[in-house]
Chain A
Amino acid sequence: MKYASEFRDPVAARALLTAIAIKADRIGATRAKPTHIMEICGGHTHSIFRYGLDKLIHEGVEFIHGPGCPVCVLPMARVDECVEIAEQPGVIFTTFGDAMRVPGHGKSLMQAKAAGADIRMVYSPLDALELARRNPGREVVFFGLGFETTTPSTALTIQQAAREGLGNFSIFCNHITVPEPIKALLDDPDMTLDGFIGPGHVSMVIGIHPYDFIAQDYGKPIVVAGFEPTDLLQSVLMVLTQIAEGRATVENQYARVVPEHGNPVSMAAMADVYERRPSFEWRGLGEIDASGLKIRAKYRAFDAEDKFGIGYAAASRNVPEIPGCACGAVMTGKIKPTACPQFGRGCTPDMPLGALMVSSEGACAAYWKYAGARAAAE
């Protein structure tokens, strides 16, 4: 596959691993006192485990798996609301496959489907729009979730629906943004991160400068990275190089896809359709100011919150999540998944308690799938 297989080259990977080892030694990173690099994006977490990079890399470099998995950070109350909408008569509820198994307080979408709700997996919000065109007598709702990478797709879909004047299509908006939770992490006094791998596909939309504050205000290096294994390794090397040279800047390893200033059409569509909520709840992280998006009043006709009378009121939502579930501490890098008392005991992929075990890119599920059943047993 062009533009992918070139970046899976074992020879280059070996050279990068050696170069990383040299740099790691130089900055004094050891197993006992590792350099903590957070890969913000769950896609990066997935690649790290899929290619076994965590086992190949110098022992002084430790990956901390960040909050960049929109399914993982989705509060249970929002899943409950999805089910509530999906169970309304006449509704076709459409979603990406990722969200199907996420547990709510009552049912997951998968369980709601089994109980009779018309819930369909789609690949694209455009497919949900097409369902609405074909089923004029039904209300088609799309579960809009994801970061800035995915937000333009639903914004453009709403704009298209508006152009066509479709009256039976709406989006249940749960879009969230990346920079705000990173700031929240950096403000945490217990934070021990030394640098960041930035989510490349988010930056392909918003560019690299929204991360300037990480380098300028907090003095941490960040390298916006691609998703192939040599992309990740090269980015780790770039972070270590910055540390070794005492620099902290925003660098772009993924320039083949990420323009410095992002994509103007995507950003314009997002700005046209969405506005910021005062705050939004992240599972495990709590309410974070200005981190969630809402459909603007001018597109109210396509807002499922409006159509179904589901508001977002922060105050009512600090419902405790599951006792003993340490998703929050895992997501902020304070503990490894295996240190959670529930990992592999009360919480497994078959019977997940926390969302990090549900989504394939959740740190716990990734640990379990690629490395961790062993870790649980140990």
Chain B
Amino acid sequence: MCLGIPARIIAITHPDRLMAMAEVSGVRREVNVACVAGNDLDSLVGQWVLIHVGFAMSLIDEDEAAATMEALRDLGEAQEALDQMRAAEEAML
């Protein structure tokens, strides 16, 4: 379950209630940032978070995202080698 999507915090709207405006592809929705606020609410602005049912549930780790993308890129570049490997293994079967 649990539809969650990445959104960027663009403003703090109600600091007392830990509410901020999040934006996804030009769609804005006020979300609660209690789970990701830490001590410095203002530093959230510009950060990417994962939102679920109106709550920012997790800060997105840019380095980890980059690492995953890097792995995907490497794999894509290795496609030819993989194909050869696959063909060789199939020939052996």
Chain A partners chain B: yes
Q: Which of A3, A12, A263 makes the CB contact (< 8 A) with B76?
A: A12
Determine how close the nearest CB of chain B comes to the CB of A214; give it in whole angstroms.
19
Determine how close the nearest CB of chain B comes to the CB of A43; give it in whole angstroms.
6
Cβ of A234 within 8 Å of any chain B Cβ, yes or no, is yes
B78 neighbours in A (Cβ, 8 Å): 15
Cβ of A293 within 8 Å of any chain B Cβ, yes or no, is no
Determine how close the nearest CB of chain A comes to the CB of B92; give it in whole angstroms.
10
| Segment at the B interface, from A254-262, A316-324, A327-335 | A254-262
State whether A15 touches B34 (Cβ < 8 A): no
Determine how close the nearest CB of chain B comes to the CB of A170; give it in whole angstroms.
18
What does DSSP make chain B's interface, helix, strand, loop or mixed?
A: mixed
CA distance A262 to B12 in the complex (A): 24
Q: In the complex, how many residue pairs between chain A and chain B have their CB atoms under 8 Å apart?
A: 155
Cβ of A338 within 8 Å of any chain B Cβ, yes or no, is no
| Segment at the B interface, from A102-110, A122-130, A347-355 | A122-130
Cβ of A41 within 8 Å of any chain B Cβ, yes or no, is yes
CA distance A160 to B5 in the complex (A): 24
Q: Which of B1, B58, B79, B83 makes the CB contact (< 8 A) with A11?
A: B79
Task: Mark B residues whose CB is within 8 Å of A.
Answer: 1-6, 8, 17, 24-25, 29, 32, 34-37, 48, 50, 52-55, 57-58, 60-62, 64-65, 67-69, 71-73, 75-76, 78-79, 82-83, 85-86, 89-90, 93
Chain A to chain B contacts (Cβ below 8 Å), 9 pairs? A14-B76, A15-B78, A15-B79, A18-B82, A41-B1, A127-B54, A234-B68, A255-B61, A263-B58
